[in-house]
Amino acid sequence: MKNLIKFLCIFILISLFMACQFSWAEDSDLDKRELPAWYQDAKLGIFIHWGIYSVPAFAKGNITFEEATKTFAFDKWFSNNPYSAWYLNSMKITGSPTYEYHLATYGKDFPYENFAIDFNKSIENWDPNSWAILFKEAGAKYVVLTTKHHDGFLLWHSKTPNPFIAGYHASRNIVAELTDAVRNQSMAMGLYYSSGLDWTFKTEPITDIMSFFTNIPQQQEYIKYIDTHWRELIQLFKPEILWADIGSPNDFDAESMIKYYYDIVPKGVVNDRHKNMLTAQGIVSAVHYDFLTPEYTVFPNINQKKWESTRGIGLDFSYNKFEDEKDYLSVNELVDMLVDIVSKNGNLLLGVAPRPDGSIPEAQIQRILGLGAWLKINGEAIYGSRCWERAEGKTLDGIPVRFTQNNSNLYVILLEKPKNLSIIIPKLTIDPKSKIYLLGKDEKLLWKQEGEDLSIQFPDVYPESEAYVLRVNY
Protein backbone atom coordinates (compact mmCIF):
# COMPACT_ATOMS: atom_id res chain seq x y z
CA MET A 1 0.00 0.00 0.00
CA LYS A 2 2.88 2.38 0.82
CA ASN A 3 4.38 1.83 -2.64
CA LEU A 4 1.00 2.39 -4.28
CA ILE A 5 0.49 5.71 -2.46
CA LYS A 6 4.04 6.75 -3.33
CA PHE A 7 3.46 5.88 -6.98
CA LEU A 8 0.17 7.80 -7.12
CA CYS A 9 1.78 10.92 -5.62
CA ILE A 10 4.67 10.75 -8.07
CA PHE A 11 2.31 10.09 -10.98
CA ILE A 12 0.04 13.06 -10.12
CA LEU A 13 2.96 15.45 -9.69
CA ILE A 14 4.65 14.44 -12.90
CA SER A 15 1.37 14.30 -14.83
CA LEU A 16 0.62 17.89 -13.80
CA PHE A 17 4.11 18.95 -14.81
CA MET A 18 4.05 17.08 -18.11
CA ALA A 19 0.54 18.26 -18.96
CA CYS A 20 1.91 21.78 -19.04
CA GLN A 21 4.46 20.71 -21.63
CA PHE A 22 2.88 18.43 -24.16
CA SER A 23 -0.27 17.81 -26.09
CA TRP A 24 -0.95 14.57 -27.85
CA ALA A 25 0.46 14.54 -31.34
CA GLU A 26 -2.31 14.25 -33.89
CA ASP A 27 -2.08 11.50 -36.48
CA SER A 28 0.05 12.68 -39.35
CA ASP A 29 1.46 11.35 -42.57
CA LEU A 30 4.51 10.26 -40.60
CA ASP A 31 2.47 7.62 -38.82
CA LYS A 32 1.51 6.04 -42.15
CA ARG A 33 5.17 5.55 -43.02
CA GLU A 34 6.30 1.93 -43.34
CA LEU A 35 9.30 0.72 -41.40
CA PRO A 36 12.26 0.40 -43.80
CA ALA A 37 13.03 -3.26 -44.43
CA TRP A 38 16.76 -2.90 -43.75
CA TYR A 39 16.10 -2.09 -40.09
CA GLN A 40 13.58 -4.88 -39.71
CA ASP A 41 16.11 -7.29 -41.23
CA ALA A 42 19.18 -6.14 -39.29
CA LYS A 43 18.43 -7.61 -35.83
CA LEU A 44 21.76 -6.72 -34.19
CA GLY A 45 23.43 -3.37 -33.57
CA ILE A 46 26.34 -2.17 -31.45
CA PHE A 47 25.85 0.80 -29.10
CA ILE A 48 28.93 2.91 -28.27
CA HIS A 49 28.99 5.17 -25.20
CA TRP A 50 32.37 6.92 -25.28
CA GLY A 51 33.30 10.28 -23.87
CA ILE A 52 35.11 12.06 -21.06
CA TYR A 53 33.14 9.99 -18.52
CA SER A 54 35.27 7.09 -19.79
CA VAL A 55 38.27 8.64 -17.99
CA PRO A 56 37.05 8.32 -14.36
CA ALA A 57 34.99 5.29 -15.49
CA PHE A 58 33.29 4.94 -12.12
CA ALA A 59 29.84 3.73 -11.10
CA LYS A 60 28.85 1.53 -8.19
CA GLY A 61 25.10 0.97 -8.56
CA ASN A 62 23.72 -2.49 -9.18
CA ILE A 63 20.12 -1.97 -10.30
CA THR A 64 18.91 -0.75 -13.67
CA PHE A 65 16.57 2.19 -14.17
CA GLU A 66 13.87 -0.24 -15.34
CA GLU A 67 14.15 -2.08 -12.02
CA ALA A 68 13.97 1.22 -10.14
CA THR A 69 10.67 2.02 -11.86
CA LYS A 70 9.22 -1.22 -10.45
CA THR A 71 10.36 -0.54 -6.88
CA PHE A 72 9.98 3.27 -6.86
CA ALA A 73 13.54 3.49 -5.47
CA PHE A 74 14.46 6.46 -7.66
CA ASP A 75 16.26 8.41 -4.95
CA LYS A 76 18.52 5.41 -4.30
CA TRP A 77 19.03 4.88 -8.02
CA PHE A 78 20.27 8.40 -8.74
CA SER A 79 22.71 8.40 -5.82
CA ASN A 80 23.84 4.84 -6.61
CA ASN A 81 23.70 5.13 -10.38
CA PRO A 82 25.07 2.08 -12.24
CA TYR A 83 25.92 4.15 -15.34
CA SER A 84 29.40 5.70 -15.46
CA ALA A 85 28.17 8.08 -18.19
CA TRP A 86 26.15 9.76 -15.39
CA TYR A 87 29.36 10.54 -13.46
CA LEU A 88 28.85 14.33 -13.65
CA ASN A 89 25.39 14.09 -12.11
CA SER A 90 26.35 11.47 -9.52
CA MET A 91 29.42 13.39 -8.32
CA LYS A 92 27.18 16.34 -7.40
CA ILE A 93 25.06 14.27 -5.01
CA THR A 94 26.72 14.70 -1.62
CA GLY A 95 27.53 11.38 0.01
CA SER A 96 26.99 9.28 -3.11
CA PRO A 97 29.68 6.69 -3.99
CA THR A 98 30.71 8.83 -6.98
CA TYR A 99 30.93 11.96 -4.83
CA GLU A 100 33.22 10.17 -2.37
CA TYR A 101 35.28 8.60 -5.18
CA HIS A 102 35.80 11.92 -6.94
CA LEU A 103 36.79 13.65 -3.72
CA ALA A 104 39.29 10.94 -2.80
CA THR A 105 40.73 10.45 -6.30
CA TYR A 106 40.74 13.92 -7.86
CA GLY A 107 40.02 16.36 -5.03
CA LYS A 108 37.23 18.85 -4.42
CA ASP A 109 38.68 21.47 -6.78
CA PHE A 110 38.91 19.19 -9.84
CA PRO A 111 36.06 20.11 -12.25
CA TYR A 112 34.47 17.45 -14.43
CA GLU A 113 35.39 19.20 -17.68
CA ASN A 114 39.08 18.65 -16.90
CA PHE A 115 38.60 15.02 -17.91
CA ALA A 116 38.49 16.31 -21.50
CA ILE A 117 42.25 16.90 -21.38
CA ASP A 118 43.01 13.25 -20.60
CA PHE A 119 40.38 11.99 -23.02
CA ASN A 120 41.72 14.02 -25.94
CA LYS A 121 45.24 12.87 -25.21
CA SER A 122 44.09 9.24 -24.98
CA ILE A 123 42.33 9.18 -28.36
CA GLU A 124 45.39 10.17 -30.40
CA ASN A 125 46.08 6.55 -31.41
CA TRP A 126 42.47 5.36 -31.65
CA ASP A 127 41.80 3.31 -34.79
CA PRO A 128 38.15 3.52 -35.90
CA ASN A 129 38.71 0.87 -38.59
CA SER A 130 39.61 -1.73 -35.98
CA TRP A 131 36.27 -1.08 -34.29
CA ALA A 132 34.33 -1.41 -37.51
CA ILE A 133 36.09 -4.67 -38.42
CA LEU A 134 35.39 -6.06 -34.94
CA PHE A 135 31.70 -5.12 -35.04
CA LYS A 136 31.35 -6.63 -38.49
CA GLU A 137 32.93 -9.86 -37.23
CA ALA A 138 30.51 -9.81 -34.29
CA GLY A 139 27.61 -9.98 -36.74
CA ALA A 140 26.33 -6.44 -36.25
CA LYS A 141 24.44 -4.78 -39.09
CA TYR A 142 24.50 -1.28 -37.62
CA VAL A 143 26.35 0.84 -35.07
CA VAL A 144 24.97 3.68 -32.92
CA LEU A 145 27.43 6.21 -31.45
CA THR A 146 26.77 8.75 -28.69
CA THR A 147 27.54 12.10 -30.33
CA LYS A 148 26.61 14.03 -27.16
CA HIS A 149 25.66 12.44 -23.86
CA HIS A 150 24.04 14.22 -20.92
CA ASP A 151 27.33 15.88 -19.93
CA GLY A 152 27.19 17.96 -23.14
CA PHE A 153 30.63 16.94 -24.46
CA LEU A 154 30.60 16.76 -28.29
CA LEU A 155 32.25 13.99 -30.31
CA TRP A 156 32.20 15.96 -33.55
CA HIS A 157 33.48 19.38 -34.63
CA SER A 158 30.27 21.33 -34.57
CA LYS A 159 29.83 24.82 -35.98
CA THR A 160 27.73 25.40 -32.84
CA PRO A 161 30.08 24.68 -29.92
CA ASN A 162 29.08 24.54 -26.28
CA PRO A 163 28.38 28.12 -25.13
CA PHE A 164 29.62 27.63 -21.57
CA ILE A 165 32.87 25.65 -21.82
CA ALA A 166 35.47 26.56 -24.45
CA GLY A 167 36.84 23.67 -26.49
CA TYR A 168 34.35 21.23 -24.95
CA HIS A 169 34.60 18.66 -27.72
CA ALA A 170 36.77 15.78 -28.86
CA SER A 171 40.04 16.79 -30.51
CA ARG A 172 39.39 14.28 -33.29
CA ASN A 173 36.15 14.25 -35.27
CA ILE A 174 35.08 10.91 -33.84
CA VAL A 175 31.62 10.94 -35.44
CA ALA A 176 33.04 11.53 -38.93
CA GLU A 177 35.84 8.99 -38.60
CA LEU A 178 33.69 6.20 -37.18
CA THR A 179 30.87 6.85 -39.67
CA ASP A 180 33.30 6.36 -42.56
CA ALA A 181 34.81 3.24 -41.01
CA VAL A 182 31.42 1.65 -40.29
CA ARG A 183 30.11 2.28 -43.79
CA ASN A 184 33.31 0.92 -45.29
CA GLN A 185 32.37 -2.37 -43.62
CA SER A 186 28.86 -2.22 -45.17
CA MET A 187 27.10 -1.51 -41.89
CA ALA A 188 24.56 1.24 -41.23
CA MET A 189 25.47 4.16 -38.96
CA GLY A 190 23.21 5.56 -36.27
CA LEU A 191 23.75 8.66 -34.17
CA TYR A 192 22.62 9.07 -30.57
CA TYR A 193 22.12 12.58 -29.20
CA SER A 194 20.97 13.52 -25.71
CA SER A 195 18.25 16.04 -26.53
CA GLY A 196 16.50 15.99 -23.15
CA LEU A 197 19.42 16.46 -20.79
CA ASP A 198 22.49 18.66 -20.99
CA TRP A 199 24.18 19.37 -17.67
CA THR A 200 26.05 22.37 -19.02
CA PHE A 201 22.69 24.12 -19.50
CA LYS A 202 21.02 22.75 -16.35
CA THR A 203 23.59 22.28 -13.62
CA GLU A 204 21.43 21.17 -10.68
CA PRO A 205 21.81 17.42 -10.03
CA ILE A 206 18.98 14.98 -10.62
CA THR A 207 18.24 13.33 -7.28
CA ASP A 208 14.74 11.91 -7.69
CA ILE A 209 12.08 11.22 -10.30
CA MET A 210 10.60 14.73 -10.17
CA SER A 211 13.93 16.43 -10.74
CA PHE A 212 14.57 13.94 -13.54
CA PHE A 213 11.77 15.60 -15.52
CA THR A 214 12.39 19.17 -14.39
CA ASN A 215 16.08 18.89 -15.35
CA ILE A 216 15.21 19.19 -19.05
CA PRO A 217 16.40 22.70 -20.07
CA GLN A 218 13.55 24.88 -21.31
CA GLN A 219 15.32 28.06 -22.40
CA GLN A 220 15.08 29.12 -26.05
CA GLU A 221 18.87 29.08 -26.27
CA TYR A 222 18.87 25.34 -25.63
CA ILE A 223 15.98 24.65 -28.00
CA LYS A 224 17.87 26.40 -30.79
CA TYR A 225 21.07 24.62 -29.77
CA ILE A 226 19.66 21.08 -30.09
CA ASP A 227 17.71 21.86 -33.25
CA THR A 228 20.90 23.19 -34.87
CA HIS A 229 22.84 20.14 -33.72
CA TRP A 230 20.26 17.66 -34.99
CA ARG A 231 20.14 19.30 -38.41
CA GLU A 232 23.92 19.56 -38.58
CA LEU A 233 24.33 15.87 -37.77
CA ILE A 234 21.74 15.00 -40.42
CA GLN A 235 23.36 17.21 -43.06
CA LEU A 236 26.93 16.11 -42.39
CA PHE A 237 26.54 12.39 -41.76
CA LYS A 238 23.10 11.32 -43.05
CA PRO A 239 22.71 8.69 -40.32
CA GLU A 240 20.49 5.71 -40.99
CA ILE A 241 19.24 5.92 -37.39
CA LEU A 242 18.40 9.06 -35.43
CA TRP A 243 18.50 7.99 -31.78
CA ALA A 244 17.30 10.58 -29.25
CA ASP A 245 17.33 10.26 -25.47
CA ILE A 246 15.24 11.64 -22.57
CA GLY A 247 12.81 13.53 -24.81
CA SER A 248 13.27 17.25 -25.48
CA PRO A 249 12.14 20.69 -24.21
CA ASN A 250 8.50 21.78 -24.25
CA ASP A 251 8.75 24.07 -27.24
CA PHE A 252 11.08 21.98 -29.37
CA ASP A 253 9.42 21.05 -32.66
CA ALA A 254 10.55 17.44 -32.86
CA GLU A 255 8.11 16.57 -35.62
CA SER A 256 9.50 19.24 -37.94
CA MET A 257 13.02 17.97 -37.34
CA ILE A 258 11.97 14.36 -38.01
CA LYS A 259 10.28 15.38 -41.27
CA TYR A 260 13.47 17.18 -42.27
CA TYR A 261 15.42 14.02 -41.47
CA TYR A 262 13.21 11.82 -43.64
CA ASP A 263 13.61 14.27 -46.53
CA ILE A 264 17.40 13.91 -46.28
CA VAL A 265 17.46 10.18 -45.37
CA PRO A 266 14.32 8.58 -46.86
CA LYS A 267 15.14 5.12 -45.46
CA GLY A 268 16.18 6.40 -42.06
CA VAL A 269 14.51 5.43 -38.78
CA VAL A 270 13.88 7.28 -35.50
CA ASN A 271 13.41 5.90 -32.01
CA ASP A 272 10.69 6.70 -29.48
CA ARG A 273 12.60 9.16 -27.29
CA HIS A 274 12.49 12.38 -29.33
CA LYS A 275 9.65 13.84 -27.28
CA ASN A 276 8.01 12.05 -24.37
CA MET A 277 5.02 12.43 -22.12
CA LEU A 278 3.68 10.55 -19.10
CA THR A 279 0.38 8.69 -19.41
CA ALA A 280 -1.43 6.00 -17.46
CA GLN A 281 0.46 3.53 -19.67
CA GLY A 282 3.82 5.02 -18.67
CA ILE A 283 6.20 7.31 -20.54
CA VAL A 284 5.32 7.31 -24.24
CA SER A 285 6.36 9.22 -27.32
CA ALA A 286 4.36 12.34 -28.17
CA VAL A 287 5.62 12.34 -31.77
CA HIS A 288 6.11 9.80 -34.53
CA TYR A 289 8.64 7.01 -34.05
CA ASP A 290 9.65 3.86 -35.93
CA PHE A 291 10.61 1.62 -33.01
CA LEU A 292 10.39 1.30 -29.23
CA THR A 293 13.50 1.24 -27.03
CA PRO A 294 13.04 -0.65 -23.74
CA GLU A 295 16.25 -0.47 -21.68
CA TYR A 296 17.66 -3.54 -19.94
CA THR A 297 14.43 -5.39 -20.48
CA VAL A 298 12.66 -7.49 -23.10
CA PHE A 299 9.02 -8.00 -23.98
CA PRO A 300 7.45 -11.25 -22.79
CA ASN A 301 5.51 -11.81 -26.01
CA ILE A 302 5.51 -10.84 -29.68
CA ASN A 303 5.13 -7.06 -29.90
CA GLN A 304 3.41 -5.84 -33.04
CA LYS A 305 5.31 -2.53 -32.98
CA LYS A 306 8.96 -2.92 -33.88
CA TRP A 307 11.22 -2.63 -30.83
CA GLU A 308 14.87 -2.57 -29.94
CA SER A 309 16.14 -3.85 -26.61
CA THR A 310 19.11 -1.78 -25.53
CA ARG A 311 21.62 -2.78 -22.86
CA GLY A 312 25.30 -3.19 -22.12
CA ILE A 313 27.18 -6.47 -21.92
CA GLY A 314 27.33 -5.74 -18.19
CA LEU A 315 25.26 -3.37 -16.03
CA ASP A 316 26.81 -0.32 -17.69
CA PHE A 317 26.68 1.07 -21.21
CA SER A 318 30.04 2.85 -20.92
CA TYR A 319 33.42 1.72 -19.64
CA ASN A 320 33.38 1.08 -15.90
CA LYS A 321 36.67 0.18 -14.21
CA PHE A 322 34.73 -1.49 -11.43
CA GLU A 323 32.97 -3.99 -13.67
CA ASP A 324 34.76 -7.22 -14.51
CA GLU A 325 34.09 -10.45 -16.33
CA LYS A 326 31.70 -11.78 -13.70
CA ASP A 327 29.42 -8.81 -14.37
CA TYR A 328 29.15 -9.57 -18.09
CA LEU A 329 26.65 -11.75 -19.89
CA SER A 330 28.19 -14.96 -21.19
CA VAL A 331 28.24 -15.82 -24.90
CA ASN A 332 25.48 -18.33 -24.22
CA GLU A 333 23.36 -15.68 -22.49
CA LEU A 334 23.93 -13.24 -25.37
CA VAL A 335 22.86 -15.81 -27.95
CA ASP A 336 19.75 -16.79 -26.00
CA MET A 337 18.84 -13.13 -25.47
CA LEU A 338 19.22 -12.25 -29.15
CA VAL A 339 17.14 -15.26 -30.22
CA ASP A 340 14.42 -14.43 -27.70
CA ILE A 341 14.28 -10.77 -28.78
CA VAL A 342 14.20 -11.57 -32.50
CA SER A 343 11.42 -14.13 -32.01
CA LYS A 344 9.29 -11.32 -30.53
CA ASN A 345 9.83 -8.74 -33.32
CA GLY A 346 12.80 -7.01 -31.72
CA ASN A 347 16.37 -5.99 -32.46
CA LEU A 348 19.19 -6.06 -29.93
CA LEU A 349 21.30 -2.91 -29.55
CA LEU A 350 24.22 -4.17 -27.49
CA GLY A 351 26.46 -1.76 -25.62
CA VAL A 352 30.21 -2.17 -26.08
CA ALA A 353 32.23 0.06 -23.74
CA PRO A 354 35.64 1.34 -24.89
CA ARG A 355 38.34 2.62 -22.55
CA PRO A 356 39.41 6.28 -22.99
CA ASP A 357 42.06 5.29 -25.56
CA GLY A 358 39.51 3.39 -27.64
CA SER A 359 40.67 -0.08 -26.63
CA ILE A 360 37.85 -2.50 -25.81
CA PRO A 361 38.21 -4.87 -22.84
CA GLU A 362 39.17 -8.37 -23.95
CA ALA A 363 36.27 -9.95 -22.07
CA GLN A 364 33.82 -7.86 -24.11
CA ILE A 365 35.60 -8.72 -27.37
CA GLN A 366 35.45 -12.42 -26.52
CA ARG A 367 31.71 -12.24 -25.97
CA ILE A 368 30.73 -10.34 -29.09
CA LEU A 369 33.00 -12.51 -31.25
CA GLY A 370 31.37 -15.58 -29.71
CA LEU A 371 27.99 -14.18 -30.69
CA GLY A 372 29.31 -13.52 -34.20
CA ALA A 373 30.65 -17.08 -34.51
CA TRP A 374 27.22 -18.48 -33.65
CA LEU A 375 25.57 -16.16 -36.17
CA LYS A 376 27.91 -17.30 -38.97
CA ILE A 377 26.37 -20.77 -38.70
CA ASN A 378 22.83 -19.88 -37.66
CA GLY A 379 22.28 -16.38 -39.03
CA GLU A 380 19.62 -17.42 -41.54
CA ALA A 381 17.26 -17.93 -38.58
CA ILE A 382 17.97 -14.36 -37.41
CA TYR A 383 18.80 -11.90 -40.20
CA GLY A 384 15.83 -11.03 -42.36
CA SER A 385 13.55 -13.25 -40.28
CA ARG A 386 10.06 -12.44 -39.09
CA CYS A 387 7.95 -13.60 -36.17
CA TRP A 388 6.11 -16.86 -36.49
CA GLU A 389 2.58 -17.43 -35.15
CA ARG A 390 4.08 -17.82 -31.66
CA ALA A 391 7.47 -16.99 -30.20
CA GLU A 392 7.98 -19.56 -27.45
CA GLY A 393 7.62 -23.22 -26.70
CA LYS A 394 9.28 -26.12 -24.90
CA THR A 395 10.26 -29.63 -25.81
CA LEU A 396 8.50 -32.39 -23.94
CA ASP A 397 11.52 -32.67 -21.64
CA GLY A 398 11.60 -28.94 -20.88
CA ILE A 399 14.16 -27.48 -23.31
CA PRO A 400 13.20 -23.82 -24.07
CA VAL A 401 12.34 -23.22 -27.75
CA ARG A 402 11.96 -20.06 -29.83
CA PHE A 403 10.49 -19.78 -33.35
CA THR A 404 11.26 -17.53 -36.32
CA GLN A 405 10.45 -17.77 -40.03
CA ASN A 406 12.37 -16.73 -43.13
CA ASN A 407 12.00 -17.49 -46.85
CA SER A 408 9.20 -20.02 -46.29
CA ASN A 409 11.27 -21.86 -43.69
CA LEU A 410 10.31 -22.29 -40.06
CA TYR A 411 13.22 -22.13 -37.61
CA VAL A 412 12.95 -24.02 -34.35
CA ILE A 413 15.68 -22.80 -32.01
CA LEU A 414 16.59 -24.90 -28.97
CA LEU A 415 18.17 -22.68 -26.30
CA GLU A 416 19.80 -25.61 -24.50
CA LYS A 417 21.43 -28.85 -25.57
CA PRO A 418 18.75 -31.58 -25.61
CA LYS A 419 19.16 -34.32 -23.07
CA ASN A 420 18.53 -37.05 -25.66
CA LEU A 421 19.02 -37.59 -29.40
CA SER A 422 15.25 -37.65 -29.77
CA ILE A 423 13.11 -34.63 -28.97
CA ILE A 424 9.38 -33.98 -29.05
CA ILE A 425 7.99 -30.49 -29.62
CA PRO A 426 4.36 -30.33 -28.46
CA LYS A 427 1.70 -28.70 -30.63
CA LEU A 428 3.82 -28.35 -33.75
CA THR A 429 2.31 -29.78 -36.93
CA ILE A 430 4.20 -29.60 -40.26
CA ASP A 431 3.55 -30.68 -43.82
CA PRO A 432 4.23 -34.40 -44.45
CA LYS A 433 6.69 -33.43 -47.22
CA SER A 434 8.76 -31.20 -44.95
CA LYS A 435 12.50 -31.65 -44.54
CA ILE A 436 14.34 -30.82 -41.32
CA TYR A 437 18.01 -29.89 -41.00
CA LEU A 438 20.21 -28.93 -38.08
CA LEU A 439 22.08 -25.82 -39.21
CA GLY A 440 25.79 -26.56 -39.51
CA LYS A 441 25.09 -30.16 -40.60
CA ASP A 442 24.23 -31.39 -44.08
CA GLU A 443 22.17 -34.51 -43.43
CA LYS A 444 18.40 -34.50 -43.15
CA LEU A 445 16.95 -35.44 -39.78
CA LEU A 446 14.36 -38.16 -39.34
CA TRP A 447 11.06 -36.97 -38.00
CA LYS A 448 7.47 -38.07 -37.53
CA GLN A 449 4.21 -36.50 -36.56
CA GLU A 450 2.67 -37.92 -33.39
CA GLY A 451 -0.75 -36.33 -33.41
CA GLU A 452 -0.18 -32.60 -32.79
CA ASP A 453 3.38 -33.18 -31.60
CA LEU A 454 6.54 -33.27 -33.72
CA SER A 455 9.16 -35.91 -32.92
CA ILE A 456 12.70 -35.38 -34.31
CA GLN A 457 15.58 -37.86 -34.26
CA PHE A 458 19.22 -36.72 -34.34
CA PRO A 459 21.76 -39.14 -35.89
CA ASP A 460 24.73 -38.66 -33.50
CA VAL A 461 26.09 -36.51 -30.70
CA TYR A 462 25.26 -32.80 -30.73
CA PRO A 463 27.97 -30.36 -31.77
CA GLU A 464 28.94 -27.77 -29.17
CA SER A 465 26.72 -24.71 -29.59
CA GLU A 466 25.04 -22.02 -27.53
CA ALA A 467 21.73 -22.78 -29.25
CA TYR A 468 20.62 -25.36 -31.83
CA VAL A 469 18.69 -24.25 -34.90
CA LEU A 470 16.43 -26.57 -36.87
CA ARG A 471 15.38 -25.46 -40.35
CA VAL A 472 11.99 -26.87 -41.26
CA ASN A 473 11.10 -26.63 -44.97
CA TYR A 474 7.40 -26.62 -44.28
Computed over every residue of the chain, the mean pLDDT equals 92
For residue 66, what pLDDT band results from cuts at 50, 70 and 90?
Answer: confident
pLDDT of residue 25: 43
pLDDT of residue 154: 99
35-52 per-position pLDDT tens digit: 999 999 999 999 999 999
pLDDT of residue 324: 87
CATH 3.20.20.80 in the chain, residues?
2-381
> For the residues 342-365, what does the mean pLDDT come to?
98
For residue 273, what pLDDT band results from cuts at 50, 70 and 90?
Answer: very high
407-446 per-position pLDDT tens digit: 999 999 999 999 899 999 999 999 999 999 999 999 999 9
pLDDT of residue 50: 98
Name residue 450's beta-bridge partners.
453
> For the residues 161-190, what does the mean pLDDT come to?
98
359-384 per-position pLDDT tens digit: 999 999 999 999 999 999 999 999 99
| 58 close to 321: Cβ distance less than 8 angstroms | yes
CATH 2.60.40.1180 in the chain, residues?
386-473
Q: Over 60: is that where the pLDDT of 469 sits?
A: yes
Q: Over 70: is that where the pLDDT of 264 sits?
A: yes
- Give me the CATH topology for the region 2-381: TIM Barrel (3.20.20)
pLDDT of residue 12: 34
Q: Over 50: is that where the pLDDT of 7 sits?
A: no
* CATH assignment, 386-473: 2.60.40.1180
What does the alpha-carbon distance between residue 421 and residue 445 come to, in Å, rounded to a whole number?
A: 11
| 59 close to 90: Cβ distance less than 8 angstroms | yes
137-162 per-position pLDDT tens digit: 999 999 999 999 999 999 999 999 99
pLDDT of residue 9: 44
pLDDT of residue 32: 86
